[in-house]
Amino acid sequence: VRKAPSALSALGRRTEPPPISWLMHLTLSRPRLISLAAGFIDNESLPVRETRLLVRELLRSRPGAQAALQYGTTQGDPSLRRLTCAYLRDLDGAAQANAAYAADRMIITNGSQQLLYMLTEALCDPGDIVLVEDPSYFVFLGIVQSRGLRARGIKIDNHGVDLADLERVLTSLKAKGALHRLKFVYLVSYFQNPTGITTSFDRKAGTLRLLRKYEKAAGHPIYLLEDAAYRELGFSTKDVKSSLAVRAGSDCVIYAGTFSKPFATGIRVGFGILPGPVFNSVLGIKGNHDFGTSNFLQHLLARALESGAYRKHLRQLHETYALKAKIMARAIRESFPAEVEWEPARGGLYIWARLPRGMHSGRDSRLFKRALAENVLYVPGELCYADDPARRKPNHEMRLSFGTGSGPEITEGILRLGRTLRALV
């Protein structure tokens, strides 16, 4: 290997291996490890039988099969867009004529992750600012870091983003003359990754109101990017309307959804609904990325939606996750020290545990290392915080996933973690 200086771009130099890689490496190198870290979905409830049936139908007629195996359009399969928009309209209880859910505003993507990436490309230059929940989804924070953006964390409580804190940050950006660098607010609005918190409809409406209030000073629209990746994984709670349903708000809303988590993560199809100017730009970027997501997968999912297999699968999924969440909650109750704060999950894949402030959970902490020695892995909370100069990163939290493990694995994993915690409290 020659030691030539690097030809990499600024972005190429900045881009680091994501924390996922490191966590995955730890997992693979320890066969007896129980991972409460992975964001994988439940293996046993994957739609094997459903996929067999759907693919058989999809490939039955030659014209249908040929259409699925041929290129589609950059924007995505019209049927899938139509069905997905109708589905979202239904979830939000919106009228059929509501333009916020028009299929021609939707772009199909490789998981919702690709939408987050392209949207950030379309809106943000290096040095631009995005607001994120504090804590937030760490792969999105990776995008922010690699693209040279600045993130500011907004406090959250059990109903979502703290509007007073949001306004405080907006005012402070305005006072510093930095508001024109602010492009969007990123909210993981259902069963948030990592905290499990769901944003109430009022908070969504309140966020949009605040953004509109400050957009004049910004000199351009400030968008709300609602990442609804976990929306359909709610098992013991009612669905909350999306920000698309906020009256007169939808031209500032970008809605990102996915079929990966609710159907199959091996079938990576997501989607976005975007307002005009952003839509055109993201569609052009999608043309350069890959000029369209696999048509085969899109046809498969359109069929799942149309046949009812998708909704049916969701019901089974809810039962599975409700049970696993209950198992994790019981195990935590039984084996964690009383000083640890947490809430039972109502959906999603995660329970967020807060240790006493002085007790570090980061990757260099005694806790993390001892847990690893006990063959149990969690996501250190610190990984879920943006680099925000306005505060130190909290280092006393853990993201615990009940998605991957079986019931007995979850119980045993929590038992080991409880033992480690009790030894250190």
Among 76, 88, 91, 111, binds its own copies (CB under 8 A): 111
Cα–Cα distance between 362 and 381 in angstroms, integer? 7
> Which secondary-structure segment (H or E) carries 407?
helix 407-424
Pairing type for strands 129-134 and 150-157 reads parallel
| Least distance (Å) between residue 51 CB and its own copies | 6
Considering only residues 34, 36, 37, 72, which one is a binding residue for its own copies as defined by CB under 8 A?
72
Nearest to 413 by CA among 423, 400, 396, 424: 400
Whichever of 65 and 178 has its CB closer to its own copies, that residue is 65
Helices (H) and strands (E) in the chain, counts: 14, 13
- The nearer residue to its own copies, 1 or 175, going by C-beta atoms, is 1
Q: Which of 57, 103, 121, 335 binds its own copies (CB under 8 A)?
A: 121
Nearer to its own copies, 152 or 396 (CB): 152
Question: Any contact of residue 291 with its own copies (CB under 8 A)?
Answer: yes
Per CB under 8 A, 73 contacts its own copies: yes
Q: How far apart are CA 114 and CA 150, in angstroms?
A: 20
Choose the stretch contacting its own copies; rule: CB under 8 A; options: 230-238, 281-289, 330-338, 387-395: 281-289
Structure tokens at 192: 């948030």
Asked if 270 and 254 touch (Cβ cutoff 8 Å), the reply is: no
Q: Which amino acid is at 348?
A: G
- Select 114 or 361, whichever has its Cβ closest to its own copies: 114
Distance from C-alpha of 372 to C-alpha of 78, rounded to nearest angstrom = 48
Q: If we measure between CA atoms, which residue out of 247, 264, 330, 348 comes closest to residue 301?
A: 264
Kindly state whether residue 7 participates in binding its own copies, applying the rule CB under 8 A.
yes
Is 93 a binding residue for its own copies by CB under 8 A? The answer is: no
CB of 182 to its own copies, least distance (A): 9
**What percent of the chain is helix, strand and coil (3-state, nearest 5)?**
50, 15, 35
Alpha-carbon gap, residue 281 to 278, rounded angstroms: 5
Cα distances (angstroms) measured from residue 393 to each of 40, 166, 190, 378, 396: 26, 18, 23, 17, 9
| Residue 171 β-bridge partners | none
Near its own copies in 239-268, by CB under 8 A: 251, 264-268
Touching its own copies, residues 381-420 (CB under 8 A): none
Kindly identify the residues of this chain, within the stretch 127-156, that bind its own copies according to CB under 8 A.
Answer: 128, 139, 142-143, 146
Q: Which of residues 154-183 bind its own copies (CB under 8 A)?
A: 183
Element (H, E) at 65: helix 62-69
Per CB under 8 A, contacts with its own copies among 214-233 are: 215, 218-223
Question: Could you tell me the smallest distance in angstroms from the CB atom of residue 401 to its own copies?
Answer: 13
Q: Which is nearer to its own copies, 93 or 284 (CB)?
A: 284
β-sheet bridge partners, residue 35: 377
- 1, 97, 175, 338: which one contacts its own copies (CB under 8 A)? 1
Q: Is 87 in the site for its own copies (CB under 8 A)?
A: no
Closer residue to its own copies in complex, CB, 320/335: 320
Closer residue to its own copies (CB): 297 or 327: 297
Q: What whole-number distance in Å separates Cα of residue 327 and Cα of residue 411?
A: 7
Which of 221, 158, 150 lies closest to 192, judged by CA? 158
Binding test (CB under 8 A) with its own copies, winner from 29, 31, 32, 70: 70
Residues in 312-351 that interact with its own copies by CB under 8 A: none
Residues 12-51 that bind its own copies (CB under 8 A): 12-13, 15-18, 20-21, 24, 40-41, 43-44, 46-48, 51
Shortest separation between residue 391's beta carbon and its own copies, angstroms: 24
Specify the 3-state DSSP secondary structure of 307: helix
